[in-house]
Amino acid sequence: MDASDRNMFRMLIRVLTERMFKHLRKWFVTRFFGHSRQRARLVSKDGRCNIEFGNVEAQSRFIFFVDIWTTVLDLKWRYKMTIFITAFLGSWFLFGLLWYAVAYIHKDLPEFRPSINHTPCVENINGLTSAFLFSLETQVTIGYGFRCVTEKCGTAIFLLIFQSILGVIINSFMCGAILAKISRSKKRAKTITFSKNAVISKRGGKLCLLIRVANLRKSLLIGSHIYGKLLKTTVTPEGETIILDQININFVVDAGNENLFFISPLTIYHVIDHNSPFFHMAAETLPQQDFELVVFLDGTVESTSATCQVRTSYVPEEVLWGYRFAPIVSKTKEGKYRVDFHNFSKTVEVETPHCAMCLYNEKDATARMKRGYDNPNFILSEVNETDDTKM
């Protein structure tokens, strides 16, 4: 190997080493410091709200127990199942103690050595275990027939009626809560997905912010309505700082923003005009902005007629200026329409004005030029004026 080959080899090693260290540095910064630079979100990408309530008075907390049905429905499954099991086991054991007390007061237990002619309140209760089993059989209406209430004890009859009624109430409430939580439309909202990024590009000659949304089920959402809120910190003319100030963002499709035919993925867009809060933003200043765009989709589930809401959010880093979404719907040879979700969030770079104001200024200049008329036969000639009047 001569000197020139050795020099080229050394240069190649140096270039590869620099690239390797560059990628390692980038990975290290992203891995250990990337999360600290992430913007705070009010709404996560999957629709959960990042908010907590502090210094809530005890009286206000009691309101949650007044509306016990909604409180139980909002509980997580592990807490709900704990309440479910505790409610049944607790009621069985409590009434088991009452049945044991009835047998103890009436002296039906074997330790009292009742006579042969003695008629107990409940047949075949010999202790706390048999009392618990009778309570279980009574509340769930098993009815084995081995233990039963006799007509000689009014207390036992009253306790039997009371436990039967209370058991029906517990069954209705707990089974209804389980069924209602399973059938909540919140789970239907999981099958509605939004694109990972929002894009800004021209659409129909106008600068628009575009978002793609898809329904993963074949069942439709009836009466769908889509809208957005721009959350940012603003300062009023009086000097008041408003955190999470909400600005309405109107999203439309070509057929309007209500009663969407949501059978295939839709691209919704917001026109960036003079009334849009994005009008004074530019491609260079967008990453430095501090806002959060929250998008909502409301609709009625076709199969259950329950209303649901899907939401997601976008921060400035997730808004791509100068891009559009790749095509996603195609037609097969068999005549069917095929949706390729591989390209659902894929974007393609396109030529786009770097600000909305530039686009509208360009349109105004073009409109002013169209209002003028050129006469090609017009020739400007100089005329020498002479004074023909003589005194």
- Structure-token pair, residue 323: 């891009």
- d(CA 212, CA 388) in angstroms, rounded, equals 80
Contact (Cβ atoms closer than 8 angstroms) between residue 283 and residue 355? yes
For residue 40, the model assigns a pLDDT of 76
* Average of per-residue pLDDT values in the chain: 82
Higher pLDDT, 334 or 373: 334
For residue 87, the model assigns a pLDDT of 93
DSSP designation for 303: T
Q: Using 50, 70 and 90 to split pLDDT, how confident is the model at 134?
A: very high
**CA-based R_g, the chain, Å:** 38
- d(CA 183, CA 188) in angstroms, rounded, equals 9
Residue the block writes with tokens 């907590």 = 52
Q: Is the pLDDT at 20 greater than 90, yes or no?
A: no
Contact (Cβ atoms closer than 8 angstroms) between residue 46 and residue 312? yes
Report the top-level CATH class of 188-368.
mainly beta
Residue 92 CB contacts under 8 Å (≥ 6 apart), including other chains: 132, 135, 136, 139
- Structure-token pair, residue 136: 């279980």
Q: In what order do the strands lie in the sheet with 221-235?
A: 241-249, 221-235, 292-301, 307-314
- Structure-token pair, residue 388: 């023909």
Q: What is the pLDDT of residues 160-205, one digit of tens each?
A: 999 999 999 999 999 999 988 887 777 777 888 999 999 999 988 8
Contact (Cβ atoms closer than 8 angstroms) between residue 68 and residue 90? no
Q: What is the pLDDT of residues 339-353, one digit of tens each?
A: 888 889 899 999 888
In this structure, the chain runs to a length of: 391
Q: What is the pLDDT of residues 55-106, one digit of tens each?
A: 777 666 677 778 888 888 888 889 999 999 999 999 999 999 999 999 999 8
Number of H helices, E strands in the chain: 7, 13
Residues of the chain with CATH 1.10.287.70: 61-183
Strand 319-321 with 198-203, pairing: parallel
Q: Is 199 exposed, middle or buried (0-12, 13-18, 19+ CB in 10 A)?
A: buried
DSSP designation for 252: B
For residue 236, the model assigns a pLDDT of 85
For residue 133, the model assigns a pLDDT of 92
Q: Using 50, 70 and 90 to split pLDDT, how confident is the model at 256?
A: low
Report the top-level CATH class of 61-183.
mainly alpha
Q: Is the pLDDT at 140 greater than 60, yes or no?
A: yes
- How large is the angle between the packed helices 77-105 and 128-139, nearest 10 degrees? 120
Residue 215 CB contacts under 8 Å (≥ 6 apart), including other chains: 191, 192, 221, 262, 263, 265
Whole-model pTM: value is 0.67
pLDDT above 70 coverage of the chain, percent? 81
DSSP designation for 342: G
Contact (Cβ atoms closer than 8 angstroms) between residue 337 and residue 329? yes
Q: Is the pLDDT at 390 greater than 50, yes or no?
A: no
- d(CA 192, CA 216) in angstroms, rounded, equals 6
Single out the residue of 226, 195, 191, 198 nearest to residue 293, CA to CA. Answer: 198
Residues of the chain with CATH 2.60.40.1400: 188-368
Question: Which of helix, strand or coil describes residue 213?
Answer: strand
122-131, 209-218, 248-257: least confidently modelled range: 248-257
Strand 329-331 with 323-325, pairing: unpaired
Strand 323-325 with 347-349, pairing: antiparallel
Single out the residue of 378, 352, 382 nearest to residue 282, CA to CA. Answer: 352
